[in-house]
Chains A and B, each alone.
Chain A
Amino acid sequence: DAMVIQNPRYQVTQFGKPVTLSCSQTLNHNVMYWYQQKSSQAPKLLFHYYDKDFNNEADTPDNFQSRRPNTSFCFLDIRSPGLGDAAMYLCATSRDGRGAGVDTEAFFGQGTRLTVV
């Protein structure tokens, strides 16, 4: 059974039209991550939550926001998608990203492939 679930798998949105991607987890992990991955590139960390503590990366554009209303769910909001935001968006969880060992292992959802038209 999938433990990290992302919806939708594929999302087409219009240039400038707000879009929300969702992620849910059944692992009860403290940490949830959002990554952006473009073709042939490494996944790029956008932000992560350690429990309710939100951590933004310095180079994440303001166009990207996130919400974590409870342990199980996390959302990625793109306020005004541009053509350059087309990518695979990956959600991941880990039990305790600030710990060590197995607690830091990350489990990924299947990703949402975003197309901007």
Chain B
Amino acid sequence: RKEVEQDPGPFNVPEGATVAFNCTYSNSASQSFFWYRQDCRKEPKLLMSVYSSGNEDGRFTAQLNRASQYISLLIRDSKLSDSATYLCVVNGGLGGSTLGRLYFGRGTQLTVWP
């Protein structure tokens, strides 16, 4: 079983739409969760961190459900510039073979059209 699973999409939405991505993780000991954004042929860049139940930053909201082991990212009022791949990233926890490791989902591709 993969450490992090994401629906690869693609998601194609019009400007102004609200779109949500989900991600599940397998290691219940994981403590830190992130959403990264990756543009074509560029490096991943940190979009949001989630350490408790959720985090909001402008049009972006990330939520964490530890009981069900999933993380979500909600983008409101989508802009053309939001078109990118969104990567769910999970820290491997504080012990065992996953100690200190960061695991990536394969990413969800978003295209926002005018």
Question: Contact residues of A with B, CB < 8 Å?
Answer: 31, 33, 35, 40-45, 48, 50, 55, 88, 90, 92, 94, 97-98, 100-102, 104-111, 113
Interface of B is mostly: loop
Number of interface residues of B (CB under 8 A): 26
The answer for the CA separation of A92 and B44 in the assembled complex, in Å, is: 10
The number of A-B residue pairs with CB atoms under 8 Å apart is: 69
20 A-B pairs with CB atoms under 8 Å apart are: A31-B100, A35-B104, A41-B106, A42-B4, A42-B104, A42-B107, A44-B104, A45-B104, A48-B100, A92-B102, A97-B91, A97-B100, A97-B101, A101-B32, A101-B51, A102-B49, A106-B102, A107-B46, A108-B43, A111-B43
Considering the complex, which residues of chain B in the window 97-114 have a beta carbon less than 8 Å from any beta carbon of chain A? 99-107
